[in-house]
Structure 1
Amino acid sequence: MTRIASIFLVLILALGCTNQKDDTTKPTIYTIGDSTVKNGQGDGAGGLWGWGDPLVQYFDTTKVNLENHALGGTSSRTFRDKGLWQPVLYKLKPGDYVLMQFGHNDSGAVNDTIRARGTIKGTGEESEEIDNLITGKHEIVHSYGWYMRQYIREAKEKGAIPVVMAPIPRNDWEEGKVPRNNNSYGGWAKTVAAEEGAFFIDLNEKMASEMENRGEENVTEVLFFSRDHTHTSAKGAVLAASLIVEGLKELDQCKLKNYLLEDPKISFPVKKKVFIIGDSTVANGNDSIVGWGRELWAFMDTTRIEVINKARGGRSSRTYIYEGLWDEVLQQLSAGDFLLIQFGHNDGGNIDKAKYRGSLPGMGNETQDILRNDSIPETVHTYGWYMGTYINQAKEKGVSVIVISMIPRNIWKDGKVERVDGSYGGWAKEAAGQNEAYFIDLNNVIADKYEKMGAEKVKAFFPGDHTHTNAVGAKFNAETLTEQIKNLRTCSLHRYLN
Structure 2
Amino acid sequence: MKITKLMLFAFLALFLVQFEAEAQQKITVYTVGDSTVKNGRGDGSGGLWGWGDYIGQFLDSTKVRIENHALGGTSSRSYQNLGLWDAVYKKLKKGDYVLIQWGHNDDGPINDTVRARGTIKGISEKTEEIDNLITKKHEIVHTYGWYIRKVVKEAKAKGAIPIVMSPIPRNTWKDGKLPRNNTSYGLWAKQIADQEKVVFIDLNDRMAKKLEQFGEAKVTGTYFYKKDHTHPSAKGAVVAATSIIEGLKVSKSPLKNYILENPVIKLPRKINVFLVGDSTMADNTNENAIGWGMMVPRYFDTTRVNIVNKARGGRSTRTFEFEGLWDKVKKEIQPDDFVILQFGHNDAGKIDSEKFRGSINGIGEETQQVNRADSLMETVHTYGWYLKKFIRETKEKGGTPIVMSLTPRNEWPNGKVEQRDNTYIKWAQEAAAAEKTDYINLSRKVADQYEVIGQEKVKAFFPKDHTHTGRAGADFTAKIAAEELRNLKGSKIRDLVLTKKEVDDLPPLSK
Contact 1:100 1:162 (8 Å CA) reproduced: yes
User: What RMSD in Å do the two structures reach over aligned CA positions?
Assistant: 2.2
Change (3 A) 1:130 1:381: same
Q: Report deviation, 1:15.
A: 4.2
Q: Distance in 2 between matches of 1:309 and 1:44?
A: 25
Q: Report deviation, 1:201.
A: 1.1
Contact 2:222 2:303 (8 Å CA) reproduced: no
Q: More displaced, 481-490 or 453-462?
A: 453-462
Q: Distance in 2 between matches of 1:229 and 1:158?
A: 37
Q: Does 1:82 align with 2:82?
A: yes
TM-score using structure 2 length: 0.92
Q: Distance in 1 between matches of 2:12 and 2:387?
A: 55
Q: Distance in 1 between matches of 2:38 and 2:474?
A: 36
Contact 1:281 1:468 (8 Å CA) reproduced: yes
Q: Report deviation, 1:121.
A: 0.4
Change (3 A) 1:398 1:80: same
Q: Does 1:229 align with 2:229?
A: yes
Q: Report deviation, 1:122.
A: 0.3
**What is aligned with 1:177?**
177
Give the secondary structure class of the aligned counterpart of 1:222. coil
1:74-473 → structure 2 map (5 Å cutoff):
74-251=74-251, 253-286=252-285, 288=287, 289-473=289-473
Contact 1:269 1:303 (8 Å CA) reproduced: no
Change (3 A) 1:38 1:475: farther
Contact 1:45 1:496 (8 Å CA) reproduced: no
Q: More displaced, 103-112 or 301-310?
A: 301-310
Which residue type is aligned with residue 280 of structure 1?
A: S
1:370-396 Cα offsets, whole Å, 9 max, x none, are 211111111222111111221222223
Q: Report deviation, 1:342.
A: 0.4
Q: Distance in 1 between matches of 2:267 and 2:71?
A: 20
1:400-439 Cα offsets, whole Å, 9 max, x none, are 2111011222223344222221221111111111121110
Change (3 A) 1:429 1:98: same
Aligned residues: 497
1:303-348 Cα offsets, whole Å, 9 max, x none, are 4433322211211000011111112222333443322100111111
Which residue type is aligned with residue 290 of structure 1?
A: I
Contact 1:164 1:189 (8 Å CA) reproduced: yes
Which residue type is aligned with residue 427 of structure 1?
A: W
Contact 1:46 1:497 (8 Å CA) reproduced: no
**Gapped regions of structure 2 (runs ≥ 5):** 499-511
Change (3 A) 1:444 1:259: same
Q: Among all aligned residue pairs of Structure 1 and Structure 2, give the percentage whose two residues are the same amino acid.
A: 55
Q: Distance in 2 between matches of 1:319 and 1:8?
A: 56
Give the secondary structure class of the aligned counterpart of 1:52. helix
Which residue type is aligned with residue 440 of structure 2?
A: I
**Gapped regions of structure 1 (runs ≥ 5):** none
Q: Distance in 2 between matches of 1:73 and 1:474?
A: 41
Q: Report deviation, 1:176.
A: 2.7
Give the secondary structure class of the aligned counterpart of 2:361. coil
Q: More displaced, 95-104 or 294-303?
A: 294-303
Q: More displaced, 350-359 or 54-63?
A: 54-63
Q: Does 1:492 align with 2:492?
A: yes
Change (3 A) 1:11 1:315: closer
Give the secondary structure class of the aligned counterpart of 2:230. strand
Q: Distance in 1 between matches of 2:6 and 2:317?
A: 65
Contact 1:350 1:356 (8 Å CA) reproduced: yes
Give the secondary structure class of the aligned counterpart of 1:225. coil
Structure 1 stretches of 4+ moved >4 Å: 1-12
Which residue type is aligned with residue 75 of structure 1?
A: S
Change (3 A) 1:492 1:8: closer
